[in-house]
Amino acid sequence: MTAPLLSVQDLTVRFTGDRTVQALSGVSFDVAQGETLGLLGESGSGKSVTLRTLLRLNPPKRTQVQGKILVQNQEVLTLQGNALSRYRGGVVSMVFQEPGLAFDPVYSIGQQMVEMIRAHEPVDTATAKNRALAMLERVQIPQARKRMDAYPHELSGGMRQRAMIALALCCKPKLLLADEPTTALDATVQIQILLLLRELQREMGMAVIFVTHDIAAAVEISDRLAIMYAGRIVEQGPVADVIARPQHPYTRGLMDSTVVSGMRGQPLAAIAGAPPDLANLPAGCAFAPRCQKATDKCRIELPETSKQGAHPVACWHPLIVTP
């Protein structure tokens, strides 16, 4: 059996300071080469923290990390110095949620791409410029040669996002982390970016982790889904199976609270209550205060992850799904 490109094992992340925040608790998942994993959940569920931990971007003095992150069987949490720099961008790269903040405002798009390429590969400036130009053309930026000299604020939101994708891919990473890359874009541009990401992923053969709270976007681009709540993965499996046969009440709630065609004039279902305080998590299942199926056991004991149905779920009382 081929080893996964990425293997995350029992990953726990705590942020310390005035109080300790349990951002991730025992997160485990694998991503194969060429596969797209969608991380789905409400704001504050731990999706972005997971991506930032994979790239070691959390502030080291205030972050406690336990568990394993293996990329091509190499332990990421032990990388230091030049090895860590080569890993970031060369092996794993990231498309941030807001490219306007991710780009340096005082350098042109071309300058930042050339710097990225030359930092990872022994090529001259002319070669790096040609590659940067080719990548901007590949992500379908019009007048790409002219855009090389543009500053981030001179591009529209959609163009900045395309430029961010080009920057992330210019060193041909094995794994791309996409942190809600379409959130700030209008619906038409969102679809274009999703299709572009899927096309580039297939063309380059890279793996992708796609973070979103939008079920429709997750279904469009993902092969598998992992549902996160309060820093834990509560359900994961093939996208078609999770959508057709959700077993965790939280997954069911997410789906019921999503707008679909034909709902005009109908009230939108919502999950009662609010996510828990990660600095004061309950003893049992974190979703129990919002769950209509919760029992005393749910409030006392943390549910184990087991494959009670078609795919793994962490719930003492998973939903009964008929074939």
Rounded Cα gap, residues 107 and 263, in angstroms:
46
**What's the average model confidence in pLDDT over 99-112?**
90
pLDDT at 269: 79
Kindly state the average pLDDT of the residues 160-184: 88
Task: Label residue 197 by pLDDT band (50, 70, 90).
Answer: confident
Q: How confident is the model at residue 98 (pLDDT cuts 50, 70, 90)?
A: confident
Residue, of 5 and 320, whose pLDDT is higher: 5
Q: Mean pLDDT, the chain, as a whole number? A: 90
Query: What average pLDDT score do residues 239-266 get?
Result: 84
- Residue 44: is its pLDDT beyond 80? yes
Pairwise pLDDT comparison (101 vs 249), residue with the higher score: 249
| Amino acid making up residue 220 | E
pLDDT reading at 322 higher than 60 = no
User: Measured between alpha carbons, how far is 30 from 2 in angstroms, rounded to an integer?
Assistant: 12
Assess whether pLDDT exceeds 90 at residue 258: no
pLDDT over 80 (residue 268): no
* Domains present along the chain, CATH in parentheses: 6-91+173-314 (3.40.50.300), 107-170 (no CATH)
Check pLDDT > 80 for residue 312. yes
Mean pLDDT of 167-191: 85
Terminal CA-CA length for the chain? 29
pLDDT at 263: 62
pLDDT of 123 higher than 90:
yes
Average pLDDT of 266-279? 85
Q: At which residue do the structure tokens 């979703």 appear?
A: 287
User: What are 210-236's pLDDT values in tens digits?
Assistant: 998 888 888 888 999 999 999 999 999
Whether the pLDDT of residue 191 is over 90: the answer is: no
**Residue 262 — pLDDT band, cuts 50, 70, 90?**
low
List beta partners, residue 305.
314
User: Greatest CA span in the chain, whole angstroms?
Assistant: 66
For 142, the token pair is 């019009």
pLDDT at 148: 94
pLDDT at 271: 87
- The pLDDT assigned to 303 comes to 93
Residue 145 has pLDDT above 90, yes or no: yes
pLDDT tens-digit map of 51-86: 999 999 999 999 999 999 999 999 999 999 999 999
